[in-house]
């Protein structure tokens, strides 16, 4: 039992470790992303600075709280933005899905390990920008260890829920074969619904209800709320519980949807 | 027990049926109609341990469909498949551990990464013990001449280099059963030769069971003792390659280039016209019945000949004739 677990772990950690190497394959992409990010945070900072020019607080949030939240949400965007959809799309178009399905490992776990690798890599690439923001825009991180732990647990749970949800969306590519439109649409929805543009507290009640009834915010607004101090630490257990429910629901749904979608290949021959 | 057992195996695909015109297209949106396409029809064959079997047929004959069902990726519509005693579709993961696959037209390597990274990962996925992996890697590096390629990203490789890498990736875990779907497609003669040598040596020495599909009859002649020929989803021949060669080997073909326009000719017994074009006549004769000189003089008496050549039929022609029912005629 232990041995099997050990072996599984070594397979999935090897898959995990492939991702940073793949990212490094395109150095230009890395530098271009860096420049884009610097421009983005500068715009975000001055945009929210201007909004607070005439008011001390909006929806109960001070200027410092909001800017801190917005910057943190920007850095932790990788939590919500996995590229499962593109992955499925290109695999299906190039007929590579067959090879993945023929590996003697669980296909979903294999993808989870790789998306987790993608998350860690993307976060590592954000580090220089984070340092820059600390100096330029007075970005603040909590010093309290408990807040960090609460955040990390919630981030991992939210990321996992979002992974399963993306899996359901990615299964659509089995039917559409075209992914560009779907991908761009979902990216747009993700940016808004994850709470990366506007803090949830500033949304009208009805909109917040909608946002909280889809899983995007679970992976970003919810954990970043804890980290930025907008959400009190005492809420953490309740948040984790809700996220676990999301994971359970989306986990079951994703397997169900995949079971039918994969028949495109296993029954109809792809 | 045979390694591969295929019983009454069938596969029916549903293909959307499009009606012509705008009305048809609109109808198709609301109520798509499907047509059944029988890709594989009641196939039967067994493959024993250590055999290298050539699996051939024209495009669309059902070769790849069969291979996909043998790997477990495709669910049969009828009949059964057993590979090493397992149902490959139901027990896909267990089966996957024992097999190696090369699909000549798609890659299993990580495109952006150096070859060695892909091989390391594959060895992990298939639980190859480090010591055995090291030995296998050294050996493959030598026999497939991968030395300069190990640190090259796959996207920068030529087709021949890629195919050598694919073979290494498919066999590094020493599978018991290997499916090679057109492993020499698009390669030049030298690379083909090297790849055939490698397959012969590697699969032969380890006693692997190999199913090889190809359009290149050189592959078959070099590697296989047995061929299975399918057409329209049916097995039309299953037996030693020698039988085919012998049965069709008694025929010869003469091609005449004529000065005047070709016309119907009286030929000696055992000879028949295969092709009569504007200024070209191709005749096949049974050399146990007539001789080349009898055929040639008969033709030359009737028509002015500019040039002629004599040839033995190659395997490609033989297969073409089987498709056209030549073996049925022989049997009668």
pLDDT in tens, A209-224: 999 888 999 999 999 9
- What is the pLDDT at residue B48? 93
How far is B97 from chain A, CA to nearest CA, in Å? 5
* Residue B330 pLDDT grade (very low, low, confident, very high; cuts 50, 70, 90): very low
Indicate if the pLDDT at residue A236 is higher than 80: yes
Cβ–Cβ gap A22/B107 under 8 Å: no
Please state, in angstroms and rounded to a whole number, the distance separating the CA atoms of residues A81 and A74.
11
Task: Give percent of chain A above pLDDT 70.
Answer: 99
Q: Do B92 and A101 touch (CB under 8 A)?
A: yes
Best to test chain B binding among A28, A104, A108, A260 (most B CBs inside 10 Å): A104
User: Which is more confidently placed, B332 or A230?
Assistant: A230
Q: Which of A63-77, B32-46, B191-205, B234-248 has the lowest mean pLDDT?
A: B234-248
Residue-level pLDDT at B323: 66
Q: What pLDDT does A83 receive? A: 85
Strand order in the sheet with B305-311: B271-276, B280-286, B251-258, B305-311
DSSP chain A: -HHHHHHHHHHHHHHHHHHHHHHHT-HHHHHHHHHHHHHHHHHHHHHHHHHGGG-SEETTEEHHHHHHHHHHHHHTGGGT---HHHHHHHHHHTT-HHHHHTSSS-HHHHHHHHHHHHHHHHHHHHHHHHHHHHHHS-------HHHHHHHHHHHHHHHHHHHHHHHHHHHTHHHH---HHHHHHHHHHHHHHTTSSS-GGGS-HHHHHHHHTSTHHHHTHHHHHHHHTSS-GGGHHHHHHHHHHHHHHHHHHHHHHHHHHTHHHHTT--
* Statement: residue A164 has pLDDT above 70: yes
Of A193-207, B13-27, B139-153, B226-240, least confident by mean pLDDT is: B13-27
Confidence class for position B331, pLDDT limits 50, 70, 90: very low
Residue B88 has pLDDT above 50, yes or no: yes
Query: Is the CA virtual torsion A114, A117, A118, A119 positive or negative?
Result: positive
Interface size between A and B, measured as CB pairs under 8 A: 78
pLDDT tens digits along B118-174: 999 999 999 899 999 999 999 999 988 899 999 999 989 998 899 999 999 999 999
- Share above pLDDT 90 across residues of chain B, in percent, rounded to a whole number: 34
Q: Which of A3, A90, A94, A99 to mutate to test the interface with B (most CBs of B within 10 A)?
A: A99
Confidence of residue B87 (pLDDT cuts 50, 70, 90): very high
Structure tokens at B316: 């490609």
Residue B332: band (very low, low, confident or very high) from pLDDT cuts 50, 70, 90: very low
CB-nearest partner of B96 from A94, A102, A267: A102
Predicted confidence (pLDDT) per residue in A80-136, tens digit: 977 898 889 888 888 888 888 899 989 999 999 999 999 998 898 888 889 989 998
Residues 6+ apart with CB under 8 A from B237: B227, B228, B229, B244, B322, B327
Share of chain B above pLDDT 70, in %: 94
d(C-alpha A246, C-alpha A160), whole Å = 9
Among left, alpha and beta (phi > 0; psi -120 to 50; other), residue A58 is beta
Q: Using a CB–CB cutoff of 8 Å, tell me whether A248 touches chain B.
A: no
The answer to whether the beta carbons of residues B229 and B37 sit under 8 Å apart is: no
Q: Which residues of A touch B75 (CB under 8 A)?
A: 263, 266-267
What pLDDT does B328 receive?
A: 53
* Residue range B95-102: mean pLDDT, rounded: 92
Residue of B nearest to A19 (CA): B113
Give whole-number Cα distances, A261 to A252, A265, B12, B79, B147, in Å.
14, 8, 18, 24, 41
The residue with tokens 């004959």 is: B61
| B292 touches A: beta carbon within 8 Å | no
Mean pLDDT of chain A: 89
Band (A150; pLDDT cuts 50, 70, 90): very high
Q: Among A20-24, B49-53, B147-151, which is the least confidently predicted range?
A: A20-24
pTM given for the model: 0.83
Distance (Å) from the alpha carbon of B241 to chain A's nearest alpha carbon: 31
Interface mutation vs chain A, best among B75, B97, B98, B156, most A CBs within 10 Å: B75
Looking at the complex, does the CB of residue B110 fall below 8 Å from at least one CB of chain A? yes
Kindly report which listed range (A84-93, B47-56, B312-321) carries the lowest average pLDDT score: B312-321
Indicate the SS3 state at residue B64.
Answer: helix
**pLDDT confidence of residue B234:** 86
Q: Kindly provide the residue ranges of all beta strands, DSSP E only, lying in chain B, ordered along the sequence.
A: 4-17, 33-47, 52-56, 78-83, 99-103, 177-181, 209-213, 226-231, 234-240, 251-258, 271-276, 280-286, 305-311
B286-299 pLDDT tens trace: 878 888 888 888 88
């Amino acid at each position: 039992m232990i041995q099997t677990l050990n072996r599984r772990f070594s397979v999935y950690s090897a898959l995990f470790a492939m991702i940073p190497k793949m990212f490094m394959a395109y150095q230009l992409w890395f530098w271009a992303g860096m420049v884009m990010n610097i421009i983005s945070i500068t715009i975000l900072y001055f945009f929210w600075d201007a909004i607070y020019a005439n008011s001390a607080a909006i929806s109960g949030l001070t200027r410092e709280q909001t800017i801190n939240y917005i910057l943190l949400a920007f850095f932790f965007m990788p939590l919500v933005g996995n590229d499962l959809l593109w992955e499925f799309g290109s695999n299906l178009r190039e007929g590579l899905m067959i090879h993945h399905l023929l590996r003697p490992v669980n296909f979903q776990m294999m993808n989870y390990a790789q998306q987790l690798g993608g998350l860690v890599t993307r976060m590592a690439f954000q580090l220089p920008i984070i340092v820059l923001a600390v100096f330029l825009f007075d970005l603040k991180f909590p010093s309290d260890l408990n807040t960090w732990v609460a955040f990390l647990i919630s981030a991992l749970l939210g990321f996992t829920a979002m992974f399963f949800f993306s899996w359901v969306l990615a299964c659509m590519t089995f039917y559409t074969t075209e992914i560009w439109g779907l991908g761009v649409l979902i990216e747009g929805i993700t940016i808004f619904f994850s709470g990366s543009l506007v803090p949830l507290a500033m949304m009208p009640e009805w909109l917040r209800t909608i946002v909280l009834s889809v899983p995007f915010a679970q992976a970003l607004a919810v954990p970043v709320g804890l980290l930025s101090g907008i959400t009190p630490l005492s809420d953490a257990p309740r948040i984790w519980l809700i996220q676990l429910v999301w994971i359970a629901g989306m986990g079951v749904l994703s397997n169900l949807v995949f079971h039918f979608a994969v028949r495109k290949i296993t029954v109809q021959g792809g | 027990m045979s390694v591969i057992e295929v019983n009454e195996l069938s596969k029916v695909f549903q293909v959307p049926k499009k009606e012509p015109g705008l009305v048809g297209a609109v109808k198709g949106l609301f109520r798509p109609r499907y047509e059944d396409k029988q890709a594989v029809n009641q196939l039967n064959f067994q493959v024993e341990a250590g055999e290298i079997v050539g699996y051939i047929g024209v495009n669309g004959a059902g070769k790849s469909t069969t291979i996909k069902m043998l790997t477990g990726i495709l669910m049969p519509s009828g009949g059964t498949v057993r590979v090493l005693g397992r149902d490959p579709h139901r027990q896909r993961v267990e089966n996957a551990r024992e097999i190696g696959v090369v699909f000549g037209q798609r890659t299993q390597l990580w495109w952006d990464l150096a070859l060695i990274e892909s091989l390391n990962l594959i060895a992990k996925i298939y639980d190859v013990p480090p010591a055995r992996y090291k030995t296998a890697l050294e050996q493959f590096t030598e026999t497939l001449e991968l030395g300069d390629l190990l640190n090259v990203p796959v996207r920068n490789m030529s087709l021949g280099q890629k195919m050598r890498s694919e073979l290494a990736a498919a066999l590094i875990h020493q599978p018991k059963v290997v499916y090679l779907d057109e492993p020499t497609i698009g390669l030049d003669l030298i690379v083909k030769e090297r790849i055939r040598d490698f397959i012969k040596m590697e699969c032969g020495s380890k006693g692997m069971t190999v199913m090889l599909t190809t359009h290149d009859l050189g592959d078959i002649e070099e590697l296989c003792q047995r061929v299975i020929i399918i057409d329209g989803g049916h097995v039309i021949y299953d037996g030693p390659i020698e039988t085919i060669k012998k049965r069709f080997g008694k025929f010869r073909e003469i091609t005449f280039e004529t000065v005047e326009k070709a016309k119907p000719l009286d030929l000696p017994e055992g000879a028949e016209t295969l092709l009569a074009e504007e200024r070209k006549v191709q005749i096949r004769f049974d050399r146990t019945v007539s001789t080349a000189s009898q055929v040639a003089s008969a033709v030359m008496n009737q028509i002015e000949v500019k040039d002629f050549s004599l040839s033995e039929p190659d395997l490609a022609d033989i297969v073409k004739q089987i498709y056209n029912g030549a073996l049925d005629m022989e049997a009668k």
